[in-house]
Structure 1
Amino acid sequence: MEDEYLDPGFFINSTESSQEHECFLRFRKVFVPCVYLAVFTCGLIGNSLVLVIYIFYQKLKSLTDVFLMNLPLADLVFVCTLPFWAYAGLHEWVFGELMCRTLLGIYAINFYTSMLTLTCITVDRFIAVVQATKAYNQQAARRSWGKAICTLIWVASLLVSLPQIIYGSVLHLDKHVCDYHGEEISTVILATQMALGFFLPLLAMIVCYSVIVRTLLRARGFRKHKSLKIIFLVVAVFLLTQTPFNLVKLIRSTSWEYHAMTSFSYVVVVTEAVAYLRACLNPVLYAFVGLKFRKNCLKLVKDAGCLPYLGATSQSKSSEDNSKTCSASHHAEATSMFQL
């Protein structure tokens, strides 16, 4: 979104044939809008569903629940910008400079908000698992801080994203494009942004999750294996989707030679598309893995009248399931990764 539209690498390098460059332009014109619209559709449905479930069906019982609402909210704002970029990929940028700066800022803010929120979830789960008794006794106090922490996350993300907002503009090359000036946002600025908004939070996540895994392996909780599975999913998916694109951006900012390489432009477009998949995967990773969320989702479908027969078939099981859940909930709280 932010790099592929104006980079000099999209123009013909003296050592590359015009045929190769035209092939890349055709690939980008088809690939980019298709990916953006697919992510927009899946992300809009998934994140909207998560927000509806949390607002109307699922009480915010822990600090993690408050943070989990922040993730789909950020992703929902982000996916709503993708139709603009899809249109610009097919044609050109026609939405003006103010909208250009706004959408560039939204992308950056979404990335840092998600990363900082994940870091806060990690720290909260670290306290809940490693210091379970203390965390349980201070649960109400910790939950009251959730909204304030989320506000600070958005403010911090806005501040870190200011270079993209300030230097974003509409330029006319072979067509009107929206991007920020690469020479204005230097490698030092990009490296600082990624250090504060990516690598340091990632280091905190790795350290905290390592201690959490060791603690859960020593515990005798019956749900510890599921907790470990969720932990590895959280870390692995974020690494696989976000690390390649961020490293590519940093590498590309170090030398103009990369801007003039059509082959490297393929890498930018593909890794960026993979990074955007986070907006689709977050609802799965942080909500749909939870048993309670799935039950609330079924309640929503039933209340909407989509499955009127659901009540008759599930009513006989409800009392039995409730008795099992109540007896196990207290024991699971200390060792479960996400109480969803």
Structure 2
Amino acid sequence: MADDDYIDSEFFNTSSDSSEGHKHFLEFHKFFLPCVYVVVFICGLLGNSLVLVIYLFYQKLKSLTDVFLMNLPLADLVFVCTLPFWAYASIHEWVFGKVMCKTLLGIYTLNFYTSMLILTCITMDRFIAVVQATKAYNQQAKRMAWGKAICLLIWVISLLVSLPQIIYGKVCYLDKLICGYHDEDISTVVLATQMTLGFFLPLLAMIVCYSVIIKTLLHARGFQKHKSLKIIFLVVAVFLLTQTPFNLVKLIRSTRWEHYTMTSFHYAIIITEAIAYLRACLNPVLYAFVGLKFRRNFWKLMKDIGCLPYLGVLGQWKSSEDASKTYSASHNVEATNMFQL
């Protein structure tokens, strides 16, 4: 975990800030991150579990998009399941042992970067579906096979990137027992690799692919075009707002040692880290619930478990869907493909 990595003995011994500032920071750290972990855990558990249930029992894996959207909540779900352990350790100390420390560090990192790489694949898949719609449709079976192979490769790559956390993860005593990873000899290489996979690669894919998609949609005509554009801007905005601050802080921290001794900088790390974890809650909404097919299956699930008076609610939703389809002309394949992903 990042927060365990930056709380070290040098911070407490060499900081130029007052001891009162240290005390306030430790109190803030003790209660702020656990609260964030619990909120992300609950929301991420509910949202991603719901997506998995719908894909397993209602929607099935009929397209490449479905394959990616099945792996994304799976990665996010395992990621959020590690958060209760870190929440407890932040409040008290690490009591789960060395093996559990290495395992949870590995699982945490594995699923974090699996999720980010899958986001990259979803972006590229949307690019092909919109810009090369006819070709994508004709090669659907081949794309499905490639997609499954790519998902397997993503998990393998993420496991390799996670190995330093697994190998060098350890429990040490710094005022209390903590589980963390820190190795000066390879930390720079690991940071560069993880930032490339976890931030710059998804960002580059979004900039390039969504720029072309927007250009294509602007030349299309139809009811769905405007909704598709809104979804694109929302996806990019959420990614930038949640991931940029934390990665920027990590880059700054890696360049100059004196940042380790600034209490204000440690506040920045904690807050931006908490913001970055929100993506695990937002991914189900951004990448699943925007699809018409997924929402239809969601209402079926709600009907089956008796959570709504489905005749009225489902009827209203059906009317909305039918109206949407009526306004969508058959020749506007680019716009409808984008919106229904």
Above 0.5 in TM-score? yes
CA contact (8 A) 1:53 1:300 kept: yes
User: 1:3 corresponds to which letter in structure 2?
Assistant: D
Shift of 1:110: 2.1
Residue 311 (structure 2) pairs with residue 311 (structure 1): yes
Higher helix share: 2
Go from structure 1 to structure 2 and tell me whether the alpha carbon gap of 1:12 and 1:18 turns closer, same or farther (over 3 Å shift).
farther
After TM superposition, the structure 1 stretch with the greater mean CA deviation from structure 2, 238-247 or 288-297, is 288-297
Q: Distance in 2 between matches of 1:318 and 1:221?
A: 20
Give unpaired runs (5+ residues) of structure 2: none
Match of 1:50 in 2: 51
CA contact (8 A) 1:68 1:286 kept: yes
User: 1:84 corresponds to which letter in structure 2?
Assistant: F
Shift of 1:17: 1.2
Match of 1:225 in 2: 226
Tell me the TM-score normalised to structure 1 length: 0.91
User: 2:310 corresponds to which letter in structure 1?
Assistant: L
Go from structure 1 to structure 2 and tell me whether the alpha carbon gap of 1:168 and 1:192 turns closer, same or farther (over 3 Å shift).
same
Match of 1:2 in 2: 2
Q: Distance in 2 between matches of 1:315 and 1:204?
A: 39
CA contact (8 A) 1:333 1:339 kept: no
Q: Distance in 2 between matches of 1:338 and 1:230?
A: 8
Tell me the TM-score normalised to structure 2 length: 0.91
Q: Specify the SS of the correspondent of 1:179.
A: strand
Q: Specify the SS of the correspondent of 1:221.
A: coil
Match of 2:334 in 1: 334
Match of 2:69 in 1: 68
Match of 1:116 in 2: 117
CA contact (8 A) 2:161 2:190 kept: no
CA contact (8 A) 2:299 2:314 kept: no
CA contact (8 A) 2:16 2:261 kept: no
Alpha-carbon displacement from aligned partner over 1:61-93 (angstroms, at most 9, x marks no partner): 321121011111000001100000000000000
Q: Distance in 2 between matches of 1:42 and 1:127?
A: 31
Go from structure 1 to structure 2 and tell me whether the alpha carbon gap of 1:92 and 1:213 turns closer, same or farther (over 3 Å shift).
same
Q: Specify the SS of the correspondent of 1:57.
A: helix
Q: Distance in 2 between matches of 1:313 and 1:220?
A: 30
After TM superposition, the structure 1 stretch with the greater mean CA deviation from structure 2, 326-335 or 112-121, is 326-335
CA contact (8 A) 2:169 2:182 kept: yes
* Runs of 4+ off more than 6 Å: none
Shift of 1:94: 0.7
Shift of 1:21: 0.4
Shift of 1:200: 3.1
Q: Specify the SS of the correspondent of 2:94.
A: coil
Q: Distance in 2 between matches of 1:54 and 1:75?
A: 15
Match of 1:195 in 2: 196
Q: Specify the SS of the correspondent of 2:178.
A: strand
Q: Specify the SS of the correspondent of 1:220.
A: coil
After TM superposition, the structure 1 stretch with the greater mean CA deviation from structure 2, 310-319 or 129-138, is 310-319
Go from structure 1 to structure 2 and tell me whether the alpha carbon gap of 1:173 and 1:276 turns closer, same or farther (over 3 Å shift).
same
Q: Specify the SS of the correspondent of 1:170.
A: strand
After TM superposition, the structure 1 stretch with the greater mean CA deviation from structure 2, 194-203 or 41-50, is 194-203
Q: Specify the SS of the correspondent of 1:267.
A: helix
Aligned runs of 1:85-234 on 2, under 5 Å? Answer: 85-234=86-235
Q: Distance in 2 between matches of 1:295 and 1:186?
A: 47
Shift of 1:141: 2.2
Q: Give the count of matched residue pairs.
A: 339
Q: Distance in 1 between matches of 2:192 and 2:334?
A: 38
CA contact (8 A) 1:221 1:331 kept: no
Go from structure 1 to structure 2 and tell me whether the alpha carbon gap of 1:329 and 1:263 turns closer, same or farther (over 3 Å shift).
same
Q: Distance in 2 between matches of 1:137 and 1:27?
A: 56
Shift of 1:332: 5.6
Q: Percent identity?
A: 73
CA contact (8 A) 1:230 1:337 kept: no
Q: Specify the SS of the correspondent of 1:161.
A: helix
Alpha-carbon displacement from aligned partner over 1:237-270 (angstroms, at most 9, x marks no partner): 1111112112222221233322221111101110
Alpha-carbon displacement from aligned partner over 1:21-73 (angstroms, at most 9, x marks no partner): 00111111111111100110011001000111111111333211210111110
User: 2:58 corresponds to which letter in structure 1?
Assistant: Y
Go from structure 1 to structure 2 and tell me whether the alpha carbon gap of 1:304 and 1:254 turns closer, same or farther (over 3 Å shift).
same
CA contact (8 A) 2:228 2:339 kept: yes
Q: Distance in 1 between matches of 2:307 and 2:333?
A: 33
User: 1:212 corresponds to which letter in structure 2?
Assistant: I
CA contact (8 A) 2:4 2:179 kept: no
Go from structure 1 to structure 2 and tell me whether the alpha carbon gap of 1:317 and 1:152 turns closer, same or farther (over 3 Å shift).
closer
Go from structure 1 to structure 2 and tell me whether the alpha carbon gap of 1:273 and 1:321 turns closer, same or farther (over 3 Å shift).
closer
